């Protein structure tokens, strides 16, 4: 398939996944905002999350203090900010439009309709329309997009690049959300202070992991168990291990003459998570581990781009 086509598919998929991740974060914090006395915890969590996502600066250029309503608005519907859900949906649709011939009609119509509806919502909504409804809808549209992708696409290169984009983005998102709460994950943190249970339940909800946590651990929520769930559980759909496994498998399916080293690194990332114990990560320090992970995932993204998506001029 054309490199340019693969590039558009990869980004289309990343943007949809990113829109969903943001929607999950806004949704979880929005719920938290309805609890009494959530004030400081909420603003603190929003600040840390925005910092981990590298969007705090852009927020600061537009608004002064961290005001939950403004943050929700900014992350969801800011038309000017390229990192908002609104902009991600637009970017996903534009990438899809550039290669609509490589998508199934169902997938194209799903992405196009999502964008048209988001645009209508943003243009015609009431001044204080419920942001919770919007992010809920974004999640649903992302679920639908994923379902249509899996349910209608031929398992060819187009499909694999779509999956690679989605899982790299998802791994990135999970790692960043954990990073936002890294204070509770410092070595020995559990001995020093009692973590705020609300913050950690928000985090779990943002990753559809709250019920799973209960089911797996049948225990109170502790940061290190949460980290274990989100880093090392192979059966947890948003865990780093799971995402790395999917990236590796999809990458293997599209490998070409120059991609051996990239594939090796993807395999190494997967294998090292697979054979690591939580104790090892804790000994290294979870924050350090997350930082290394994000660097490796960025490197992998760059390598995929140069091997497949934008090959040198006279290949």
Partner 1 sequence: MANSPYNEMYLGSGAARSHYQRYAQWLANQPAQRLAQKRAEADVLFHRVGITFAVYGQEEGAERLIPFDIVPRVLPLDEWIRLEAGLKQRVRALNAFIHDIYHDQQILKAGVIPAEQVLCNSQYRPEMQGVDVPGGIYAHIAGIDIVRDDAGEFRVLEDNLRVPSGVSYMLENRKMMMRLFPELFSAHRIAPVDHYPDVLLENLRSVAPTGVADPTVVLLTAGAHNSAYFEHAFLAQQMGIELVEGQDLFVRDEAVFMRTTQGPQRVDVIYRRIDDDFLDPLVFRPDSMLGVPGLLASYRAGRITIANAIGTGIADDKSIYPYVPDMIRFYLGQAPIIANVHTWMLRRQGDQDYVLAHLPELVVKEVHGAGGYGMLIGPAATKDEIEMFRAQILATPERYIAQPTLALSTCPTFAGSGLAPRHIDLRPFVLSGREVSIVPGGLTRVALREGSLVVNSSQGGGTKDTWVLET
Contact footprint for partner 1 (CB under 8 A)? 1-6, 90, 93-94, 97-102, 105, 108-109, 112-113, 115-116, 119, 157, 161, 254, 256-257, 308-309, 311, 313-315
User: For residues 248 and 297, is the Cβ–Cβ distance under 8 A?
Assistant: no
User: To the nearest whole angstrom, how small is the minimum distance from the Cβ of residue 120 to partner 1?
Assistant: 10
DSSP 3-state of 95: helix
Q: How far apart are CA 287 and CA 282, in angstroms?
A: 9
Question: Judged by CB, which is closer to partner 1: 8, or 238?
Answer: 8
Distance of CA 223 to the CA centre of its chain: 20
Question: Judged by CB, which is closer to partner 1: 290, or 304?
Answer: 304
Question: Judged by CB, which is closer to partner 1: 241, or 309?
Answer: 309
Question: Judged by CB, which is closer to partner 1: 34, or 154?
Answer: 154
User: To the nearest whole angstrom, how small is the minimum distance from the Cβ of residue 279 to partner 1?
Assistant: 40
User: To the nearest whole angstrom, how small is the minimum distance from the Cβ of residue 61 to partner 1?
Assistant: 23
- With both helix axes pointing from N to C terminus, report the angle between 286-304 and 157-180 in degrees, rounded to the nearest 10: 150
Could you tell me the maximum CA-CA distance found in the chain, to the nearest angstrom?
Answer: 62
Query: Which stretches does DSSP call E strand in 204-292?
Result: none
User: To the nearest whole angstrom, how small is the minimum distance from the Cβ of residue 119 to partner 1?
Assistant: 6
User: To the nearest whole angstrom, how small is the minimum distance from the Cβ of residue 230 to partner 1?
Assistant: 32
Single out the residue of 229, 235, 296, 241 nearest to residue 270, CA to CA: 241
Question: Judged by CB, which is closer to partner 1: 109, or 283?
Answer: 109
Ordered DSSP codes for 275-312: T--HHHHHHH-HHHHHHHHHHHHHHHHHHHIIIIIS--
- With both helix axes pointing from N to C terminus, report the angle between 68-77 and 131-152 in degrees, rounded to the nearest 10: 30
Question: Judged by CB, which is closer to partner 1: 47, or 119?
Answer: 119
User: To the nearest whole angstrom, how small is the minimum distance from the Cβ of residue 168 to partner 1?
Assistant: 16
User: To the nearest whole angstrom, how small is the minimum distance from the Cβ of residue 194 to partner 1?
Assistant: 49
CA distances from 287 to 17, 225, 292 (A): 24, 15, 9
Distance of CA 6 to the CA centre of its chain: 20
Question: Judged by CB, which is closer to partner 1: 193, or 257?
Answer: 257
């Amino acid at each position: 398939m054309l490199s340019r086509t693969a590039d558009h598919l990869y980004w289309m998929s990343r943007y949809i996944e990113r829109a969903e991740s943001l929607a999950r974060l806004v949704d979880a914090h929005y719920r938290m905002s309805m609890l009494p006395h959530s004030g400081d915890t909420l603003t603190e969590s929003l600040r840390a999350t925005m910092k981990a996502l590298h969007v705090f600066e852009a927020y600061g250029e537009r608004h002064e203090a961290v005001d939950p309503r403004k943050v929700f608005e900014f992350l969801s519907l800011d038309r000017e900010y390229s990192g908002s859900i609104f902009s991600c949906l637009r970017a996903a649709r534009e990438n899809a439009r550039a290669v609509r011939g490589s998508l199934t009609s169902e997938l194209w119509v799903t992405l196009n309709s999502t964008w048209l509806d988001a645009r209508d919502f943003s243009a015609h909504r009431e001044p204080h329309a419920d942001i919770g409804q919007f992010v809920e809808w974004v999640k649903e549209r992302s679920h639908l997009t994923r379902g249509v992708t899996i349910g209608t696409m031929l398992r060819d290169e187009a499909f694999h690049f779509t999956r690679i984009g989605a899982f790299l983005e998802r791994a990135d998102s999970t790692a960043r959300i954990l990073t936002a709460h890294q204070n509770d994950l410092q070595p020995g943190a559990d001995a020093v202070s009692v973590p705020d249970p609300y913050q950690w339940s928000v985090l779990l909800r943002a990753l559809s992991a709250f019920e799973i946590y209960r089911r797996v651990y049948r225990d109170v929520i502790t940061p290190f168990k949460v980290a274990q769930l989100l880093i090392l559980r192979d059966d947890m759909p948003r865990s780093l291990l799971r995402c790395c496994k999917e990236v590796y498998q999809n990458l293997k399916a599209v490998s070409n003459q120059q991609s051996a080293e990239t594939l090796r690194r993807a395999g190494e990332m997967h294998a090292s998570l697979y054979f690591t114990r939580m104790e090892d990560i804790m000994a290294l320090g979870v924050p350090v581990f997350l930082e290394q992970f994000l660097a490796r995932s960025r490197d992998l993204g760059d390598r995929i781009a140069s091997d497949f998506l934008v090959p040198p001029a006279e290949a």
